Amino acid sequence: MYIYEKRGYFMKKVTLLKALAFPATAAFMVGVGNAVVLADETTPDITPSDNNTVVDAKSVEQTQDDTKQVAINASATVADTTDESKVETQPVSNDSNTNESQGVETQSIVEATNTNESETNNSVQTQENPEVDVVAKIGDTAYASLDDALSAAQDNDTINLYKDATTKNGFGINGKAITIQGNGHAITADTLGIYLRKDGNKIAVLNFVDSTVNLIPANGTPTLAGEGYKWANAVVNYDCQLNLSNTKFYIKGGYGPGTGIYFHSGGSLTLDNASEMKIFGLSGNAIESDENDGANPYKVGVNVLNKSNLDIQTCRSGLVGQIETVVSNSNLTVDGMKTSGSNGADYTITNNSTVKFDNNVYHGMSTRHLTINDSTFTATNNGMDGIVMSGNGHFIKANVTITGTQGKSNYSAGMRLLGSKANLSIDKDSIINITDNKVSGIFLDKNSHLTVDEGANILVTRNHAEQENIPSKNNIAQSGGGIFVRSNAVANLSNSTQVYNNHANYAGDDIFVEDGGHITFGNTGEGWKLDGDPDCTDSINGWYDDQADSRWEAHSENHESDHTEKVNAGTYNGVLALKAAHNNGTVIAHYVDEAGNQIADNETYKDAVGNEYTTEAKTINKYTLIKVPENNNGTYTEDDINVYYVYTLTKGKVVAHYVDENGNTIAKDETYEDILDNPYQTVKKDIAGYVFVSVDGQETGVFKDGTIEVTYKYKKKIIEDNSNKNTPSKNTPSNTSTTENVAPETETQETNSVQTGVETNTVSMMGSMITSLFGLGFLRRKKH
């Protein structure tokens, strides 16, 4: 069997003699490097192989010294192989004769004498201390503590961790690259933190792999070359690197230093391979850079890659200074900062990442350059701005939501383009929602530019430029609830951009352009409706003037103060204040006669275009409605609607009836019709066989609405028989003739006259009959 042991750049192979005094009762494997030492209960002779040379006695003596170190390392390897933290070893025999008798063979001998004293002292296992904990190893060398391993580590060394460990000395790396392979174990730095220092041109690199790191140092960073930082948990010096791979890394406030990680120019932090870093509860900034030279790109880098997660909670600020921040297929959360979530960093957010800046007292994300590509960004409930950007911005297949901005300073906005170098483009595949902020939705500072590609889904609504959270009011900050464009700024909005239902105390509920500003915008959209108080819920049909001294109004009392001056979509330069709203349609109801002459006052109805209307006919004195128009009900349009109700003069009716004393009609009714208030005159008829008796109703008068009835009553006339008028009756005196003393013709007299004549004739006839009867009797008696 062979042992390989690394020394510098050389690898030597040693044939281990069975003369080593391993326990005779145990069988075990000892791994050193890539080779294995096998010890068992038997001790067969070892025959030299063809490939090995036999050493002389002097070599054997030298080998005995080396085997002491080999045994130590072998014991440590047993701990690794058997997963035991404590290993018990037997002292190695110094009997050279025994070694010789075993026929020790070796091709090359490990030069134990080359092992320096410090390495020997740092080795976990010695003959004087046969039972020691193995915490870490560098190569084949085991260490009782992480601090021992760190102290022994050379450039490019990897420290393998075999159990959870605590470091008091921290990670002071001066010009070396050190990797901590945690193997799933936890590391706690509770006294000193991390200081990565550049030594001349040699940078320091600290890699954590498969580890959990709790960085809670009470006394700041280690001191290197006389430099230490009591106020920081970690300092990454010029061009140095702190890298995490599949590692959880926690920095928690309340233990001492206020700052999380502080970078000098060129320093970097990388989270890779599903790593997670949480920084929370610090009195200072979580991640900070001292770079201030305006480099493009910035030299300090924070990289969150490949399903990693950087989570910063409740510190003073999140990422501060000129930091080039890249988030790719990963998450970044900055929540609850006492000042700003970010101040000055550049951001590239790409490859299905999610970034959140929420609940920060000042700015959410304050950035120079910002690219969001195929990723999601939210800024919720921040104090001043959701996003404030001073450089170039590119939204490509971006999904951005900004809401709940409180507006704690003038010129705050959901999204603000700050300064002449701010230039944001939004591509056609992006979805941008800027809603429910207590400030303008979008604010373009002087000389800034915004371009929205056609097809982009942009919604800017329910934002309020009202300075609710600022005691001192500013007209600029109270204008342009949707979008504010300052002088020399340019906003090119697409036709698909939706800006409506925003509100501003001073002017321009939805759009305000300052003198010298430029804007292009499209028509209002289908289905837009106003959101109610203080306005209405009517449909939106266009853009309307909304200047400070002539605010849009469509619902004043009696519509006397309405202002609905329409403004067409297009490109405008200079002052402009607009509201997406509606004008009022007008319906005029006319009341006319058959000739089209107005016979009553018109009635005017007004309401939002698109709403329904209903008109009503009037009751007009002396007129009767004869035509109801088909458009008496309908929908308001932008053009005036005229509705005509047609009337005719109302006619009265008089009906004259002619009846006998029993109410029977004895002559045809006469009907008279004419315009009301015109006079009428009924006529009494002469009806044969009847005499007029009386009249019921007014024979004369004026026509009234309705029917007037007049009834003429008659009685039947009795005709007198004058055939025996000159023959006097024997029983009637000659002076009783009915023709004598006849009264003037009246109904009564006429009737009486007729009755008297009848009675006289009857008496005369009866007298003649009696006389005849007497004559016949006389003749009969005479005959007999």
Task: Provide the pLDDT for residue 62.
Answer: 41
Task: Provide the pLDDT for residue 127.
Answer: 34
Query: How many CB atoms lie under 10 A from the CB of residue 203?
Result: 21
From 104-118, 187-201, 526-540, 675-689, the region with the lowest mean pLDDT = 104-118
Please write the tens of the pLDDT for every residue from 424-436. 999 999 999 999 9
Vertex 619, ends 614 and 623: CA angle to 5°? 125
Does position 741 have pLDDT exceeding 50, yes or no? no
| 467 — pLDDT class (breaks 50, 70, 90) | confident
In the 8-state DSSP scheme, what is residue 190? -
Task: Provide the pLDDT for residue 29.
Answer: 32
From 97-101, 198-202, 549-553, 668-672, the region with the lowest mean pLDDT = 97-101
Does position 726 have pLDDT exceeding 60, yes or no? no
Does position 64 have pLDDT exceeding 90, yes or no? no
Task: Provide the pLDDT for residue 721.
Answer: 63
Which residues lie closer than 8 Å to 12 by C-beta, 6 or more apart? 4, 5, 107, 108, 109, 110, 111
On the 0-12 / 13-18 / 19+ scale of CB atoms within 10 A, 691 is: middle
Beta strand extents in 601-650 (DSSP E only): 603-608, 612-614, 623-627, 633-635, 641-649
Query: How many CB atoms lie under 10 A from the CB of residue 453?
Result: 16
Task: Provide the pLDDT for residue 724.
Answer: 56
What are the C-alpha distances in Å from 594 to residues 32, 427, 597, 648?
Answer: 120, 64, 7, 6
Does position 278 have pLDDT exceeding 50, yes or no? yes
| 745 — pLDDT class (breaks 50, 70, 90) | very low
Task: Provide the pLDDT for residue 739.
Answer: 34
Question: Do 269 and 224 form a contact (C-beta atoms < 8 A)?
Answer: no
**More confident site: 123 or 437:** 437
Question: Do 326 and 303 form a contact (C-beta atoms < 8 A)?
Answer: yes
Residue 146 CA to its chain's centroid (Å):
51
Does position 530 have pLDDT exceeding 90, yes or no? yes
Does position 388 have pLDDT exceeding 50, yes or no? yes
From 5-14, 362-371, 470-479, the region with the lowest mean pLDDT = 5-14
**More confident site: 493 or 122:** 493
Does position 708 have pLDDT exceeding 80, yes or no? yes
Does position 764 have pLDDT exceeding 50, yes or no? no
Does position 80 have pLDDT exceeding 90, yes or no? no
Task: Provide the pLDDT for residue 744.
Answer: 36
Question: Do 168 and 199 form a contact (C-beta atoms < 8 A)?
Answer: no
Mean pLDDT of 438-444: 97
Please write the tens of the pLDDT for every residue from 498-521. 999 999 999 999 999 999 999 999
Task: Provide the pLDDT for residue 174.
Answer: 97
What are the C-alpha distances in Å from 449 to residues 182, 294, 452, 453?
Answer: 50, 21, 10, 13
Considering the chain, what is the average pLDDT of its residues?
Answer: 81
Does position 644 have pLDDT exceeding 90, yes or no? yes
Question: Do 530 and 461 form a contact (C-beta atoms < 8 A)?
Answer: no
Does position 527 have pLDDT exceeding 80, yes or no? yes
Closest CA to 334 of 264, 220, 347: 347
**d(C-alpha 102, C-alpha 15), whole Å:** 11
Which residue intervals of 606-704 are DSSP H helices? none
Q: Residue 225 has which token pair?
A: 């070359």
Query: How many CB atoms lie under 10 A from the CB of residue 611?
Result: 15
| 648 — pLDDT class (breaks 50, 70, 90) | very high
Q: Residue 732 has which token pair?
A: 């009637």
Counting residues of the chain whose pLDDT is more than 90, the rounded percentage is 67
Q: Helix-strand-coil percent breakdown of the chain, rounded to 5?
A: 10, 40, 45
Question: Do 262 and 237 form a contact (C-beta atoms < 8 A)?
Answer: no
Question: Do 65 and 96 form a contact (C-beta atoms < 8 A)?
Answer: no
Please write the tens of the pLDDT for every residue from 119-152. 434 444 433 344 568 999 999 999 999 999 999 9
| 94 — pLDDT class (breaks 50, 70, 90) | very low
Does position 214 have pLDDT exceeding 70, yes or no? yes
Task: Provide the pLDDT for residue 105.
Answer: 33
Mean pLDDT of 199-225: 97
On the 0-12 / 13-18 / 19+ scale of CB atoms within 10 A, 769 is: exposed
Task: Provide the pLDDT for residue 102.
Answer: 34
**d(C-alpha 520, C-alpha 92), whole Å:** 90
Does position 113 have pLDDT exceeding 60, yes or no? no
Task: Provide the pLDDT for residue 111.
Answer: 33
For 258-287, letters b (16+ CB in 10 Å) and e give bbbbbbbbbbbbbbbebbbbbbbebebbbb
**More confident site: 528 or 717:** 528
Task: Provide the pLDDT for residue 428.
Answer: 98
Mean pLDDT of 382-407: 97
Does position 737 have pLDDT exceeding 90, yes or no? no
Counting residues of the chain whose pLDDT is more than 70, the rounded percentage is 74
Please write the tens of the pLDDT for every residue from 597-622. 999 999 999 988 889 999 999 999 99
- Reply yes or no: is the peptide bond before residue 534 cis, omega within 30 of 0: yes
**More confident site: 506 or 12:** 506
Does position 65 have pLDDT exceeding 80, yes or no? no
Query: Which domains occur in the chain, in start order?
Result: 2-122 (no CATH), 383-581 (no CATH), 584-646 (3.10.20.320), 651-716 (3.10.20.320)
